[in-house]
Amino acid sequence: MRITAAVAALCMGTLLRAVHATTPETCCSALETTALRSQVVYPDSVAYKRSIGSYWAENVQLEPTCILQPRTAQEVSLAVYTLVAADGACKFAVRGGGHTTWAGANNIVDGVTIDLSLMNTTTYNEKAGTASILPGSRWEGVYETLAKYNVTVPGGRSGVVGVGGFLLGGGNTFHTARVGFACDNVVNYEVVLANGEIIDANKESHADLFKALKGGTGNFGIVTKYDMKTIDDDKLWGGIVTYDNSTTLQHLEAGNRFINNLENDPYASWIGMWEYLSLSDQNIIANALEYTAPVAYPSAFDDFTAIANTSSSMRVANVWNLTQELGQASGYRDVFVTASFVNNLDLMKRTIDIHNRMIEEAKAGAKGDDYTMFTMIQPWPKLFTDHSTEQGGNVLGLDRFNENLFQVLFDYSWKDQADDVLFNQLANSALEELTTYSKSIGADNEFIYLNYANINQSPLSSYGPENLEYIRTVARKYDQTCVFQNQVPGGFKISAVAQ
C-alpha cells in the first residue's frame, strides 16, 4: 500500500475541519482547504459547464454542488480522504467518460462529482507489451495514441465510450472471440481505496481485488490507472454495411449461424443493428462487420456478404478509424435496456417483430419529431468465456452457461424531454415482452450485461451466487466502512443485491 507522505500531511488538518461537514456546500469547502482548491469548480464557471455538457446523454446531465477535477492518483487519494473524513456526510459521485445512460450513475445533485476526465493519457510500454491508460480516457484517444506504434488493446467499439466504466463492467470488444473480454486483458489496476491508500491489484498483489474488479464495477474504490495487454497490428477489415429491411430474415438466419460457428474463426465480429430514423422515416438494417486482421472478405462473413446491400464502407483501417464510424450522436436523451438469450432463431425473429411494433407505438405517441430507435443483436458465444477462464477468470459468471448466447440491446434516443416517459415505457415493454417469450420457449438466460443495463435492472444479481458472495467479501475487506456503498450512491451496488 502506498499513500504519499505529502498527501498524509495535507490530510491531517482537513480531517479536523471536515468532521463537521454536514452539507454539500461544506463538503466542497472542505476540498478547498486542501491543495485541491484550484480544481474545485462551481456552477458559474466555464469548467463546470464544460464538464456537465460533456456527458453523452442529456438526461444524465445532473448539476452537483461542485465538481472536483483531479489530475493524478495522489489528488484522487486526497479527495477521497477529505470527503470520507466528513464521517459519512459527504456524498460524491465518480465520473470517467460519462457515457452511462441513466441519471445518477456517474453524477449527483446534492454532493460532489469527482470528474476524472482530465486524467486521460495513454502510455505504451513496449518492453512489457502493455498500455497504461488513465480512467478519464475515451477509447478514441487510447486508439489514436497506440496507432503510432501499430498496436492496440481490446476496448470499446465506439470511440466516444469511456475507458473506466467499460472495463469495470466487463467490456465486449471486436477482439473478444480471440482474447476474452476487455477486463480479462487488464494486468494491473491502480486503485484508490476508501481510506485514501493507493494500491496495485494484480495476480501477485491483492489478487482477490484484481479478480473482483473484472466486472464488479465501482464497489471497491476508484481505479486511477489500467495496465492492459496490447495486441500487435491495429489494422482490421471492417465497416458498416446497410440493407433494406426486407432482408431481415436473411440476416437473422446468418446471425444465428455466425454465433454457432464463431469458434471456427475468432477473428470475426458482427453487430446486427435494426435502426429507425424518425426524421427520414427509414427503418433499415446495418451490420457492423469487423475482422481483426487486414483480410478482405473472409469466409466467416459469407452469409452476410451474400445479401444485397444498399451501401458499404468496408475497408482496411485501424481501430481508431473504425470506432469513429460506430459512435452515435450526442445531444440526445437516451435509454438502454438489455438481456441475454439462448441462440434461437425464433427468438431473434420475435426481437425484430417487437422492434417494428415499438416503432409504430412511437409514431403514434411521440410529441417530438426527432428520435432514433435501435435494436441490436450481438453474439455472446461460450467461446468468450473460455478465454476468460484461461486468463484467470472474472466475476461475470458466464462460465456457468454451456449454450451459445446472443444479447439484445434496445437503445432509444430522442430530443424532446416531453417524450421521456414514452421512450422509457417502450424500451421496458419491449424487453419485458421478449423476456417473457424467451421463457415460454426455454431460451431465456439470466445474464445482464452491466454496461448496457438500465437503472431498473440488476446486472450484479445475474452473476450467480458464488460471484455475488465473492464481490461482497472483497468489498467488505477493502472498504470496511462501506464508503462506496453509502457515500457514493451512483452505479450498481453489491449492497443493493438481496442475499
How far is it, in rounded angstroms, from Cα 49 to Cα 319?
Answer: 31
State the pLDDT confidence band at 392, using cuts at 50, 70 and 90.
Answer: confident
Residue where one domain finishes, among candidates 101, 118, 135 = 118
**Number of C-beta neighbours around residue 395 at 10 A:** 22
Task: Mark whether 132 and 221 lie in a shared domain.
Answer: yes
Q: What secondary structure letter does DSSP report for 117?
A: G
Give the pLDDT score at 278: 98
Residue 5 confidence (pLDDT) above 60: no
Asked if residue 31 lies in contact with residue 79, where contact means CB atoms within 8 angstroms, the answer is: yes
Beta bridge partners of 272: 287, 377
Residue 382 class from Cβ within 10 Å (0-12 exposed, 13-18 middle, 19+ buried)?
Answer: middle
Q: Is residue 396 part of a domain?
A: yes
- In terms of DSSP H, where are the helices of 331-461? 345-365, 382-390, 420-440
3-class SS of residue 389? helix
- As a whole number, mean pLDDT of residues 186-192 equals 98
- As a whole number, mean pLDDT of residues 340-362 equals 98
Task: Mark whether 261 and 394 lie in a shared domain.
Answer: yes
Give the pLDDT score at 419: 98
Q: What secondary structure letter does DSSP report for 82?
A: H
- As a whole number, mean pLDDT of residues 161-172 equals 97
Asked if residue 43 lies in contact with residue 63, where contact means CB atoms within 8 angstroms, the answer is: yes
Residue 15 confidence (pLDDT) above 70: no
Residue 35 class from Cβ within 10 Å (0-12 exposed, 13-18 middle, 19+ buried)?
Answer: middle
Q: Is residue 126 part of a domain?
A: yes
**pLDDT tens for residues 292-348?**
999 999 999 999 999 999 999 999 999 999 999 998 888 999 999 999 999 999 999
- As a whole number, mean pLDDT of residues 248-265 equals 98
Residue where one domain finishes, among candidates 99, 118, 137 = 118
SS (H, E, C) 20-33: CCCCHHHHHHHHHC
Give the pLDDT score at 13: 36
Task: Mark whether 443 and 466 lie in a shared domain.
Answer: no
Task: Mark whether 374 and 438 lie in a shared domain.
Answer: yes
Give the pLDDT score at 7: 34
> Residues of the chain with pLDDT > 70: what percent?
96
3-class SS of residue 415? coil
SS (H, E, C) 159-200: CCCEHHHHHHCCCCCCCHHHHCCHHHHEEEEEEECCCCCEEE
How far is it, in rounded angstroms, from Cα 167 to Cα 239?
Answer: 24
Asked if residue 58 lies in contact with residue 331, where contact means CB atoms within 8 angstroms, the answer is: yes
Task: Mark whether 225 and 251 lie in a shared domain.
Answer: no
Give the pLDDT score at 201: 97
Q: Is residue 354 part of a domain?
A: yes
State the pLDDT confidence band at 22, using cuts at 50, 70 and 90.
Answer: low
Task: Mark whether 90 and 183 lie in a shared domain.
Answer: no
How far is it, in rounded angstroms, from Cα 346 to Cα 348?
Answer: 5
Q: Is residue 156 part of a domain?
A: yes
Cα angle: 372, vertex 375, 378; to 5 degrees: 140
CATH at 35: 3.30.43.10
Query: How many helices (DSSP H) and strands (DSSP E) are in the chain?
Result: 16, 20
Q: Is residue 200 part of a domain?
A: yes
Give the pLDDT score at 374: 97
**pLDDT tens for residues 108-118?**
999 999 999 99
**pLDDT tens for residues 57-72?**
999 999 999 999 999 9
Residue 478 confidence (pLDDT) above 70: yes
Q: Is residue 114 part of a domain?
A: yes
- As a whole number, mean pLDDT of residues 442-466 equals 98
Residue 271 confidence (pLDDT) above 60: yes
Beta bridge partners of 179: none
Task: Mark whether 179 and 35 lie in a shared domain.
Answer: no
How many domains, the chain? 3
How far is it, in rounded angstroms, from Cα 48 to Cα 164?
Answer: 21
Give the pLDDT score at 325: 93
Q: Is residue 498 part of a domain?
A: no
Give the pLDDT score at 17: 40
C-alpha cell at 444: 431465456
Give the pLDDT score at 389: 81
3-class SS of residue 433? helix
Give the pLDDT score at 432: 98
CATH at 472: 3.30.465.10
Residue 405's Cβ-side half-sphere holds a number of Cα atoms within 13 Å equal to 21
Task: Mark whether 43 and 99 lie in a shared domain.
Answer: yes
How far is it, in rounded angstroms, from Cα 61 to Cα 66?
Answer: 13
Task: Mark whether 316 and 294 lie in a shared domain.
Answer: yes
- As a whole number, mean pLDDT of residues 402-421 equals 98
Task: Mark whether 271 and 343 lie in a shared domain.
Answer: yes
CATH at 345: 3.40.462.20
- As a whole number, mean pLDDT of residues 402-430 equals 98
Please choose, from the candidates 426, 409, 326, 408, the residue with its C-alpha nearest in 3D space to the C-alpha of residue 371: 426
Asked if residue 497 lies in contact with residue 460, where contact means CB atoms within 8 angstroms, the answer is: yes
| Structural domain range at position 434 | 235-459
C-alpha cell at 304: 452476410
Q: Is residue 332 part of a domain?
A: yes
Task: Mark whether 82 and 158 lie in a shared domain.
Answer: no
Q: Which residue has the higher pLDDT, 280 or 388?
A: 280
- As a whole number, mean pLDDT of residues 75-83 equals 98
Whole-number average pLDDT of the chain: 94
How far is it, in rounded angstroms, from Cα 380 to Cα 349?
Answer: 17
Task: Mark whether 444 and 470 lie in a shared domain.
Answer: no
